[in-house]
């Protein structure tokens, strides 16, 4: 999975291009930088790769999501629908803007259940933020139809799905804005980094300002630039962009290798365990194959299988039900509303009580699901040995 497994001379070369000029800032310094601007270059390459008009790099996926929400005008008291199974960045970004995260069930695609989304809509709902978890698609057709019908903004969190597609079109390019992460564990990495993309010229212009204190970037004197609105410092630095550029060029080959590995393991498990059910992937062609997810029949079986996999030396096994990062069940800080500052009254009044609210449908899915990482650096022999170890482990419980 992680792009860092593919590091070679090309990342070093891109970084050295930047160090030769000494200009780590993406803006200005036109005389000193001698035409080197890895950030612009990566933004352009990302647009080409994804088939989108605009891309704005950010220092993380979290700031990409924050930027998308802010640029779409989401703020105090607005409700944003998000899944129960995602990364904590989803609700962090919503709450940081004074908006209200409305958590909604997932289905067997491990992404937002459209019927549950529709039931959660209120007059305060402003946006729906599906998360393309573990490298594959949320229900885009249904979610786009719901957003059209109710006049809601669709923002895609494609942080785990760079390079994934749905019927040939890149994830992240269906909604009004799409968000990506290039942190150290993602399919391609900038060390830390991210991006927001859009086809909307005005939103792109706003994103360009928002990530740089609201600068309008007109003219060549930063001090003389005007600020049509307030922003943040969500600027990316040139060294990170240099690494990202080299990584982006490898994305296709990374995904091709992962797909081959995933298919091998999946076919072997399916042949051995006819009753094992695999995650429903809406368009398998467009899956970037960062994970192989399957579910057992009960929570107890999934727990036993997780233990057996670990005992058999299988690394990268995630039983998200018992994991603190990705599923509502263990998000105690959200349940306790544990912020360092007082949340706006609208949020305190309007946010459901997640300490008591239950999600039986999500629990039924996540409690039985195991996701296993597909690494990039495994040799064919290692893939074969891993598959054999997985079969040995699963035989003890299934
Ligand atoms: C990684 C991730 C993020 C945040 O990305 P960072 O770059 O780590 O800030 C947001 N959403 C999802 C689904 C992620 O997996």
Instruction: Give 65-98 as a DSSP string.
Output: HHHHHHHTT--TT-EEEEESBS-THHHHHHHHTT
Share of the chain above pLDDT 70, in %: 100
Compute the distance between CA of residue 396 and CA of residue 188 in angstroms, rounded to an integer: 36
pLDDT of the residue at 223? 86
Give me ligand 1 centre to Cα 193, in Å.
10
Question: Which atom of ligand 1 approaches the CA of 132 most closely?
Answer: 13
Give me ligand 1 centre to Cα 180, in Å.
8
Report CA Rg, the chain: 21
Beta sheet of 153-157, edge-to-edge order: 54-58, 194-198, 177-181, 153-157, 125-128, 79-83, 100-104
pLDDT of the residue at 18? 98
Q: What is the DSSP letter of 333?
A: H
Listed in order, strand segments (DSSP E) in the chain are 54-58, 79-83, 100-104, 125-128, 153-157, 165-166, 169-170, 177-181, 194-198, 277-278, 291-295, 317-318, 369-373
Compute the distance between CA of residue 281 and CA of residue 65 in angstroms, rounded to an integer: 24
Residues 81, 120 contacting (CB under 8 angstroms): yes
Mean of the per-residue pLDDT values for the chain? 97
Question: Which atom of ligand 1 approaches the CA of 133 most closely?
Answer: 13
Best CA proximity match to 290, nearest among 198, 375, 379, 384: 375
pLDDT of the residue at 91? 98
Listed in order, strand segments (DSSP E) in 183-226 are 194-198
pLDDT for 209-268, tens place per residue? 999 999 999 988 888 899 999 999 999 999 999 999 999 999 999 999 999 999 999 999
Q: Is the pTM of this model over 0.85?
A: yes
pLDDT for 71-85, tens place per residue? 999 999 999 999 999
pLDDT for 262-295, tens place per residue? 999 999 999 999 989 999 999 999 999 999 999 9
pLDDT of the residue at 347? 97
| Angle CA 137–261–186, to nearest 5 | 50
Give me ligand 1 centre to Cα 385, in Å.
31
Q: 111 CB less than 6 Å from ligand 1?
A: no
Tell me the pLDDT band of 56, cut-offs 50, 70 and 90: very high
Residue that the structure tokens 């969500």 belong to: 234
Compute the distance between CA of residue 93 and CA of residue 98 in angstroms, rounded to an integer: 9
pLDDT for 134-148, tens place per residue? 999 999 999 999 999
Q: What is the DSSP letter of 176?
A: S
Q: Is 266 a catalytic residue?
A: no
Tell me the pLDDT band of 184, cut-offs 50, 70 and 90: very high
pLDDT of the residue at 221? 86
pLDDT for 153-165, tens place per residue? 999 999 999 999 9
Three-state DSSP class for residue 193:
coil
pLDDT of the residue at 158? 98
pLDDT for 21-43, tens place per residue? 999 999 999 999 999 999 999 99
Residues 95, 347 contacting (CB under 8 angstroms): yes
**Residue 381 has which token pair?**
């022999």
> Which residue is catalytic, options 38, 126, 186, 262?
186
């Amino acid at each position: 999975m992680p792009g860092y497994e593919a590091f070679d001379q090309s990342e070093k070369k891109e970084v050295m291009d930047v160090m030769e000029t000494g200009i780590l800032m993406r803006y200005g310094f036109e005389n000193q930088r001698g035409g080197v601007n890895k950030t612009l270059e990566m933004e352009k390459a990302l647009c080409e790769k994804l088939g989108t008009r605009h891309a704005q790099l950010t220092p993380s996926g979290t700031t990409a999501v924050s930027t998308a929400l802010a640029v779409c005008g989401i703020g105090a008291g607005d409700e944003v629908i998000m899944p129960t199974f995602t990364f904590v960045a989803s609700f962090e970004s919503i709450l940081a803007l004074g908006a209200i995260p409305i958590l909604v069930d997932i289905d067997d695609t491990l992404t937002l259940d459209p019927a549950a989304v529709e039931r959660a809509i209120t007059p305060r709902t402003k946006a729906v933020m599906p998360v393309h978890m573990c490298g594959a698609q949320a229900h885009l057709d249904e979610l786009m139809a719901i957003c059209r019908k109710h006049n809601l903004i669709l923002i895609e969190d494609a942080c785990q799905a760079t390079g994934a597609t749905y019927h040939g079109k890149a994830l992240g390019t269906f909604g009004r804005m799409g968000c990506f992460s290039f942190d150290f564990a993602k399919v391609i990495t900038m060390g830390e980094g991210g991006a927001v993309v859009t086809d909307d010229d005005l939103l792109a212009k706003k994103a360009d300002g928002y990530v740089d204190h609201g600068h309008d970037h007109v003219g060549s004197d930063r001090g003389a630039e005007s600020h049509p609105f307030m922003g943040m410092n969500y600027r990316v630095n040139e060294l990170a962009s240099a690494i990202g550029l080299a990584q982006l060029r490898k994305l296709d080959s990374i995904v091709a290798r992962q797909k081959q590995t995933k298919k091998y393991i999946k076919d072997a498990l399916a042949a051995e365990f006819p009753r094992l059910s695999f995650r429903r992937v809406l368009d398998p062609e467009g899956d970037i194959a960062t994970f192989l997810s399957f579910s057992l029949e009960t929570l107890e079986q999934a727990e036993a299988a997780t233990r057996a996999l670990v005992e058999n030396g299988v690394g990268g096994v995630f039983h998200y039900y018992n994991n603190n990062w990705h599923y509502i069940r263990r998000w105690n800080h959200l349940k306790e509303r544990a912020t360092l500052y007082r949340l706006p009254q609208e949020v305190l009044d309007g946010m459901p009580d997640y300490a008591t609210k239950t999600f039986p449908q999500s629990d039924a899915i996540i409690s039985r699901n195991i996701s296993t990482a597909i690494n990039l650096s495994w040799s064919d022999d290692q893939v074969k040995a891993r598959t054999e170890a997985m079969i040995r482990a699963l035989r003890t419980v299934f």
